[in-house]
Structure 1
Amino acid sequence: MAKTLTAKSVDATRPDTLRREIPDGGMPGLYLIVQPKRERDGKELPPVMSWAVRYRFDGRPKKHTIGSYPAYSLKTAREEASRLMRGVSEGKNPAEEKSFRKARKVDSVNDAIDYFLKRHVTVKNRSTTLKERTRLFDKDVRPKWGKRTMRSITRFDVVKLIDDTAERAPIVANRLLALLRKFFSWAVDRDIIDTSPMEKKIDPPGEEKTRDRILSDDEIRIVWLAAGKMGYPFGPMIRLLLLTGQRRSEVAGFEWKELELGGNNQLWVIPPERSKNRKEHFVPLSSLALAEIEKLPKVKPKEDQDPIFLFTTTGRTHVSGYGNAKKSLDKEILSIVKDEAMKRGEDPDRLTPWEPWTFHDLRRTAASGMARLSVAIHVLEAVLNHTSGSIKGVAAVYNRYDYASEKRAALTAWADYVTSITALRK
């Protein structure tokens, strides 16, 4: 009868002249494989040992290698052997599963990440999401786990990675935690691993506060004037952000072909591949928004091609560099604020600075402004292209009405309000 191995006895095992397989009496089917003794320059090298399970499948003897020692301790080797033998009793062949994983090239973390990005993220998300998730994997995951096997990643590994990231950037750590949870859940679903190391909840390390910055009427007026001083491309883009309430990426990537101006439509149609929820979105354009669009130059990529983007400097790609654009806008804002203060007889150097704000706050400001104008919440959600909110469950499934008239009325009322604000003092 095989002796029960102990951590001490395994650690004390030394190689012989022949390869050996030492059975573990504590876990039937588990073997410690000890490779023959090796020498280099007359000196004996450390022993090379690994774990394997032997079992019968379809009446034939089979062998499956678990991993090397001490990467797999006696305890973890027994746990893995127990899991594999349970699988055999359920009709699963570990050797075939291993061959299948190798064929898909998803044994290592790097391979699994590549497969995840290709088969899941690229298919179900926008290009901006793919770019951000690729960046998180490349910066924080691949350098530490890339060459390890997926099965070797433990809950402790995840917790340590998240905590290390949190010391540098708590909010990034939150994003990484959410991404890894999705990644390992996907790996379980694809039979790359059997259980997720994140099966037990791991709390986000960073405390996030929901932004609630809304520009006041006077701030809206000054932003409008400052955007007008900036000129093309960011000036009119900022104005459209405010007038339409759409996302920065959607406005920045606005293409001329997305305009429908026939009859009384005056629509901007955001295609599914550019909307966050992957659904076509219709944005009625107010006369003020149309006036901004009509003033735009049409920058062509080549002389023989039609212009593609409303906001571009090259003709080939839409605008980027939003951080620098915000700095330029802030300079124009400060200039206007100081000039108006001097006209009022105030000291321009003693003015109270604005509370920090972002381009996304223009979307929130527009939404809040329409709400103040008594726009119903379900119409407001339709304007913003939100998929969750006041209409849920069965009602959401059967409610396919686009609220076209109501959206147009809401955006027209908001544009009129912006006009009234900006006309107060120019």
Structure 2
Amino acid sequence: MGKQFSDKLLSNLKPQATKFYSREGRGFALRVMPSGIKTFLFIYTTHEGKRREMNLGNYPHVKLAEAREQYQAAYSLAAKGIDPQEHKKAITEAKAKESNSSFGKLAELYLAKIETKFAANWVKTISGALKCDLLPVWKDKHIGEIRRKDIIDLLEKVGNRAKGQIKNVQKAASGVFRYAVDREYIEINPTSNLSKALSEFQTGPRERSLSESEIKVIWDAIDAGVGSEETKRALKLILVTAQRPGEVASMHRSEIDGEWWTIPKEKVKTRKEHLVYLTPTALKLIGDSDGHIFPSPRMAKPIQTSHMSQLVSISRVDTQGNVYHTPYYGLPRWTPHDLRRTARTHMARIKIIEEHCEAVLNHAKRGISGVYNRYAYQEEKKLALIKWEAELLELIK
């Protein structure tokens, strides 16, 4: 028998180079990891002779008295020849089938919620990640039984298969677990702070703003380079208006009224209409065509954001092996979305106030309630974009 646990004893246990166990006796133990994480355990042997460890919670988040109570219940089951972990699993799975607490049911409720609040393309991405990678594994599993380790293991498998997909799957999982926390199905979101655990799959900093000299380079290079005129104009319009690539690519004549472009809520990430002032440069790029402003070769549909991404990033080589289109126009890696970030950065540089910059970009305001005013900051957005256009024209001349 070990020494009886007390808060003083547990608090004084310091991490070592490898994990170690402090045991009170009869299977009640505390595991201390090199990271300093302390976990209450019930260590027992099953009827088949297999050694198992039952997680009773991390100390001090789980109090000693709570852990001891869980241990005593588990010990009683084990003494009767019942595996306490299998017993708990059976109970939670039965409850999941009788209630809304399975991952699959909560995912369904979460999707129903976001469908009314966010743009269709974003919802489609989240829905796809759920259906392809999460629901096949966790559909019938009780939300409270999915551990952080389970999530990391699944995301690592996704990352090894398709590194670019891991972010979408992580967003989908995080959304469902946040939904569960908000509605008190669980107390802690196990998807929070996963960056360190998944560091090998990170592609590096995504945020990039083009410098003043780089803006001049890409503006001229877009004109002189390969690609359709529609795709070239769309790229430039992102920089001029500071709007999202998807919103620009799908622009339709019906959304334009004189000098104003109304982006319908169905296309906006925040599901709220957004007014954008169109400067003379923007209107010139838009032109006077009817229907889709940037039609694809099929004409019935607009270009896709992937068309812009490919134009920027793909190298073009002729039949003799000579490169006639350099990726990123010879600059360090950047994306079409970085043009929006570039506009935002330089608007701040020329002293356009923060609140007006955020209004131009249609970033959601935090901590502000009430009915959305469609015309909020209309004049301020106009003045901000006029000032940005003047600066941009100076940079590219």
Give the SS at the match of 2:221. helix
Give the SS at the match of 1:316. coil
Q: 1:11: how far off?
A: 8.2
Q: Distance in 1 between matches of 2:314 and 2:97?
A: 57
Tell me what 2:311 maps to.
Answer: 325
2:208, 2:334 within 8 Å by CA — same for their partners in 1?
Answer: yes
- AA at the equivalent of 1:267: W
Tell me what 1:408 maps to.
Answer: 382
Q: Does 1:384 align with 2:361?
A: yes
Tell me what 1:206 maps to.
Answer: 198
Matching of residues 257-296 of structure 1 within 5 Å: 257-261=254-258, 266-294=259-287
Q: 1:371: how far off?
A: 2.1
Taking a change above 3 Å as real, the CA distance of residues 179 and 225 of structure 1, as seen in their structure-2 partners, is same
Between the aligned residues of both structures, percent identity stands at 24
Give the SS at the match of 2:116. helix
Q: Distance in 2 between matches of 1:74 and 1:140?
A: 30
Taking a change above 3 Å as real, the CA distance of residues 211 and 335 of structure 1, as seen in their structure-2 partners, is same
Taking a change above 3 Å as real, the CA distance of residues 354 and 199 of structure 1, as seen in their structure-2 partners, is closer
Matching of residues 237-256 of structure 1 within 5 Å: 237-256=234-253
Q: Distance in 2 between matches of 1:116 and 1:240?
A: 37
Q: TM-score, normalised by structure 1?
A: 0.60
1:166, 1:173 within 8 Å by CA — same for their partners in 2?
Answer: yes
Q: Distance in 2 between matches of 1:363 and 1:117?
A: 29
- AA at the equivalent of 1:359: P
Q: Distance in 1 between matches of 2:388 and 2:98?
A: 61
Q: Distance in 1 between matches of 2:342 and 2:181?
A: 42
Q: 1:243: how far off?
A: 0.7
Q: 1:314: how far off?
A: 2.7
Which of the numbers 332, 340, 345 marks the counterpart of 1:355? 332
**Runs of at least 5 residues in structure 1 that lack an aligned partner in the other structure:** 1-5, 13-25, 33-68, 85-93, 299-306, 338-351
2:234, 2:248 within 8 Å by CA — same for their partners in 1?
Answer: yes
Tell me what 1:180 maps to.
Answer: 173
- AA at the equivalent of 1:214: S
Taking a change above 3 Å as real, the CA distance of residues 141 and 216 of structure 1, as seen in their structure-2 partners, is same
Q: 1:319: how far off?
A: 0.6
Q: 1:363: how far off?
A: 0.9
Q: Distance in 1 between matches of 2:292 and 2:164?
A: 36
1:226, 1:329 within 8 Å by CA — same for their partners in 2?
Answer: no
Tell me what 1:56 maps to.
Answer: none
Tell me what 2:320 maps to.
Answer: none
Q: Distance in 2 between matches of 1:311 and 1:235?
A: 12
Matching of residues 14-413 of structure 1 within 5 Å: 74-79=83-88, 98-99=97-98, 113=107, 115-116=108-109, 118-146=111-139, 153-167=146-160, 172-173=165-166, 175-187=168-180, 194-195=185-186, 198-199=189-190, 203-204=194-195, 205-207=197-199, 209-229=204-224, 230-261=227-258, 266-294=259-287, 297-298=289-290, 307-320=291-304, 321-322=306-307, 323-327=309-313, 353-388=330-365, 393=367, 402-413=376-387
Q: Distance in 2 between matches of 1:237 and 1:370?
A: 20
Q: Distance in 2 between matches of 1:83 and 1:99?
A: 10
Q: 1:181: how far off?
A: 3.1
Q: 1:187: how far off?
A: 4.9
Q: 1:120: how far off?
A: 2.8
Q: TM-score, normalised by structure 2?
A: 0.64
Q: 1:112: how far off?
A: 5.5
Q: Distance in 2 between matches of 1:200 and 1:226?
A: 42
2:238, 2:248 within 8 Å by CA — same for their partners in 1?
Answer: yes
Taking a change above 3 Å as real, the CA distance of residues 309 and 289 of structure 1, as seen in their structure-2 partners, is closer
Tell me what 1:17 maps to.
Answer: none
Q: Distance in 2 between matches of 1:146 and 1:267?
A: 46
Q: 1:267: how far off?
A: 0.5
Give the SS at the match of 1:243. helix
Cα distance per residue 1:233-284 (max 9 Å; x no partner): 11111121111011101101111111011xxxx1011122212222221111
Q: Distance in 1 between matches of 2:219 and 2:255?
A: 24
- AA at the equivalent of 1:277: T
- AA at the equivalent of 1:414: W
1:117, 1:134 within 8 Å by CA — same for their partners in 2?
Answer: no
Cα distance per residue 1:74-132 (max 9 Å; x no partner): 21355468989xxxxxxxxx88x85566xxxx86x55664x246523323322221222
**Runs of at least 5 residues in structure 2 that lack an aligned partner in the other structure:** 1-43, 51-71, 318-322
Taking a change above 3 Å as real, the CA distance of residues 147 and 414 of structure 1, as seen in their structure-2 partners, is same
- AA at the equivalent of 1:326: V
RMSD: 4.3
Cα distance per residue 1:174-198 (max 9 Å; x no partner): 553343232134357679xx54784
Between structure 1 and structure 2, the one with the greater Rg is 1
Q: Distance in 2 between matches of 1:368 and 1:200?
A: 31
Q: Distance in 1 between matches of 2:241 and 2:315?
A: 19
